[in-house]
Amino acid sequence: MKAWIIDRASDLSFEDAPLKLVDLPVPVPEDGQLLLRIKTCGICHTEIDEIEGRTPPHVYPMVPGHQVVGTVVKHKGVRQDIHTGDRVGVAWIYAACGKCDFCMSGQENLCPDFRATGRDVPGGYAEYMVVGERFVYKIPDIFSDAEAAPLLCAGAIGYRSLSLCCMQNVKMLGLTGFGASAHLVLKLVQYQYPSALVYVFARNKTERDFALQLGCTWAGDTTERPPDLLDCIIDTTPVWITVVEALACLKPGGRLVINAIRKEEADKDNLMKLDYPTHLWMEKEVKSVANVTRRDVEEFIRLAAAMPFKPEVEEYPFESANQAIMDIRNRRIRGAKVLILSGHN
């Protein structure tokens, strides 16, 4: 099968084709696993973090990709509601032990044996993959393959981030960065909390204009101050300075939710800008988002289908994986990006 791999850490400031296209054997499912023929795979900023070494694969080479939509080709001893030919999705959570205190309490995202699709095990930038029966999700017919892919990470992690905001107490919400996840959060807020006002911070004018088109209240640069102090801000960017800037925009008792698997290393100038009275006093909080649970994915897919709403999607042919990666790296973003594999199956 054809597959894109990460075979080493790369600096995307100097390299624009970090993924290598190779031929690999079609994987063989073990007991309790499915073999999927992949139809689409969403492209996430986490892939850039993997490529540049902030959250590197545990082994090289690695097939990245964790927003996977495919059809079941083979299965071994799987659950009764899964059949050959079914369309299913795979998210960032590939496996968890199912036995530790975190797993038993519904916090499998914190499991010490958590394994991530496309980082710890081969993912969706390929024609086929295997996955455990407990970690797939049926895709509602209302969504096309391309529309479904972003729901599995951008949507699910946005849903989890929003749950950490305690939205019942939030009248004004901020979103820092306006890529795949944030544009879905905006649509979700408009549906679930129609009286809440959403303020968007983004360096890129195209992203700010897109947010205004989707109905946000205000949009400005990440260094600008909104007209009001906010109850909660979700930061989806990979940089450190947005943490400092966001904290200065919170009300007393406000919360910053950081939805980023890694932040780029902070330089001394940015660290020195963290001022306790301005940024942290008055019982402000900082909360990080770590991975997702199966429940997050399942609940968000059901909610998205019930609303219903569709992600804004930009499609790339399978051969253009490197171009898609560099477009995200260079902030050429409007909604979510998806690799299309239909011509390879």
Tell me, what's the pLDDT at 258?
95
pTM of the full structure? 0.91
Whole-number Å distance between alpha carbons of 191 and 303: 10
DSSP state, residue 35: E
Tell me, what's the pLDDT at 176?
96
Whole-number Å distance between alpha carbons of 20 and 103: 36
Tell me, what's the pLDDT at 269?
59
Among candidates 74, 62, 87, which has minimal Cα distance to 139? 87
DSSP three-state, residue 298? helix
Domains within the chain, CATH numbers bracketed: 2-155+291-344 (3.90.180.10), 165-288 (3.40.50.720)
Which of the residues in the chain have pLDDT under 50? none
Tell me, what's the pLDDT at 270?
57
DSSP state, residue 139: P
Tell me, what's the pLDDT at 268?
56
Peptide bond into 311 cis (omega under 30): no
Tell me, what's the pLDDT at 272?
56
Tell me, what's the pLDDT at 72?
95
Whole-number Å distance between alpha carbons of 289 and 282: 22
Residue 131 pairs in a beta bridge with 34
Tell me, what's the pLDDT at 186?
94
Tell me, what's the pLDDT at 4?
98
Residue 175: phi and psi, rounded to 5, are -125, 120
Tell me, what's the pLDDT at 199?
98
